[in-house]
Structure 1
Amino acid sequence: MINKSMPSTDDAVADIPDGATLMVGGFGPAGQPYALLDALVRRRPRELTLISNNAGNGDFGLAALLKAGCVRKVICSFPRQSDSWVFDDLYRRGELELELIPQGNLAARIQAGGSGLGGIYTPTGFGTLLATDKETREIDGRQYVFELPLKADFALIRAERADRWGNLVYNKTGRNFGPIMAMAAACTIAEVNQQVSLGELDPETVITPGIFVQRLVINPVSPQQLSA
């Protein structure tokens, strides 16, 4: 019987090793898998490479993972904002490496990783420092930069509902990077607010099929306490 449910968030992340490449879903707080990140902070792996849209807010979630000293490198599109003091401090002290990627390129490179592509050509970044030492090519009279795909050992994502096979339904903007990260990781761990019986999910609303999800865990916090 296929059942991808894990007994706890701690069990779900127990084998994430030092040096792993980790994708974390979320657009700011929306769709960020807080319970899984809290469990990872408790475990405290080291030298992680983090692929995400931003580099954390306040002192929770991604910021807590950075503050715990777990991350060596951040690959993201929006590292700095008014409440990104954890990232700012670590970066200014030289304790964190940053690879900055335009948001569209970030999504496209993750999609390329999940689709088995060898890379993409994009006009975004051409002629800027972001294209330094990268292959460029003129196509139909326009200049493009070649970007490699992004893949990960693990993806931590959040969804609204799931069945035991790992089919996922998202809550509005909480969907964001979750579906493409699930495709681009060797092991996807999904944190959900509710698990339902097989057949309860309308197939038309399933965004991430269970084939892309290896582990499933129920968020221990009440859904009423969570944002999208």
Structure 2
Amino acid sequence: MESAMADIHDGATILIGGFGLAGMPAELIDALIAQGARDLTIVNNNAGNGDTGLAALLKAKRVRKIICSFPRQADSYVFDSLFHAGEIELELVPQGNLAERIRAAGAGIGGFFTRTAYGTPLAEGKETRIIDGQGYVFEKPIHADFALIKAETADRWGNLVYRKTARNFGPIMAMAAKCPIVQVSNVVELGELDPEHIITPGLFVKRVVKVASAAKPASAA
């Protein structure tokens, strides 16, 4: 874990997978906190839950800016406190735009026009255009230095299989970052993964770290 995170530098832009707690790479985030990089720009759907994971990274005051869709919920009090104290910058991006901006980076697209946010404060300072009588806003791709992703299973070449909805942003984030780092519960031999079930090809993965699975509660008798 330490060697996988060792070269994350101050000021890096990092994509972090997860939709709330689903698919959040908690162990990688903890390792990032221990590693010590500062002034980070973090891209995530949310802005942390409670005091763990991404919220713990914010609480350690390692994040200069966060780009996300859903910064406020009942247990996002760490972000809320930092934001109102002027200690963190927020770029609010509608969820569909966020996903497409990340995907565009991985696909090598220079940007795209979308109707979402046209005529709102989120469009201020951005190029707009009328296309077929409708207003559109130009959105730029989100490139990143690193991505922290959680998958279920990998092989030695980094081919990935995800667990249900924990898949969420993982596949597009792996494509959009220079160095995707993935935590998995299982590592299998080459050839054990059905090619039809592989979601992220190993071409897009630089590092894989196996972490122990959380203990499952015993079933009721």
One-letter amino acid matched to 1:79: P
Paired with 2:94 and 2:60, the residues of 1 have a C-alpha distance of 27
SS at match of 2:61: coil
Residue of structure 2 equivalent to 1:102: 94
C-alpha displacement of 1:69: 1.1
Aligned-partner residue type, residue 69 of structure 2: S
| CA–CA distance in structure 1, aligned partners of residues 36 and 70 of structure 2 | 24
Partner residue, 1:164: 156
SS of 2:66's partner is: strand
Q: Which residue of 2 aligns with 1:213?
A: 205
1:128 to 117, 120, 125: 120
Q: Evaluate the alpha carbon distance shift between residue 151 and residue 212 of structure 1 in structure 2; reply closer, same or farther with a 3 A threshold.
A: same
SS in structure 1 of the partner of residue 212 of structure 2: coil
**Aligned AA (1:78):** F
Please give the per-residue CA displacement for 1:17-40, whole angstroms capped at 9, x wherever unaligned: 000000000000000001100101
Counterpart contact for 1:193–1:223, Cα < 8 Å: no
- CA 1:138–1:223 in 2, change beyond 3 Å: closer, same or farther? farther
CA RMSD of aligned residues (A): 1.0
Aligned length: 217
Bigger mean CA offset, 160-169 vs 138-147 = 138-147
Q: Structure 2, unaligned stretches of length 5 or more?
A: none
- Counterpart residue number, 2:16: 24
Structure with larger RCO (C-alpha < 8 A, sep 6+): 1
Change (3 A) 1:28 1:171: same
Residue 222 of structure 1 deviates from its aligned partner by 3.5
Q: Distance in 1 between matches of 2:66 and 2:34?
A: 20
Q: Show the counterpart of 2:41.
A: 49
The equivalent residue for 1:4 is none
- Counterpart selection for 1:137 from 124, 129, 138: 129
Cα distance in structure 1, aligned partners of 2:212 and 2:16: 19
Measured against aligned partners, the alpha-carbon deviations of 1:138-168 in whole angstroms (never above 9, x if no partner) come to 1122110000100100000000000010000
Q: Which runs of 5 or more structure 1 residues have no equivalent in the other structure?
A: 1-8
Aligned residue identity for 2:190: L
Write the deviation string for residues 55-77 of structure 1: whole angstroms up to 9, x where unpaired.
10000000011111110000000
Instruction: State percent identity of aligned pairs.
Output: 64
SS of the residue corresponding to residue 11 of structure 2 reads: coil
Counterpart Cα distance in 2 of 1:155 and 1:224: 27
Which letter maps to 1:27? F
- Counterpart of 2:187, as a letter, is Q
Displacement over 6 Å in runs of 4+? none
In the other structure, the counterpart of 1:154 is: 146
From 5, 11, 25, the counterpart of 1:13: 5
Q: Does 1:194 align with 2:186?
A: yes
The one-letter amino acid of 1:127's match is G
Q: Is contact 1:113–1:150 with CA below 8 Å preserved after alignment?
A: yes
Alignment partner of 2:151: what SS? strand
TM (norm. structure 1) is 0.93
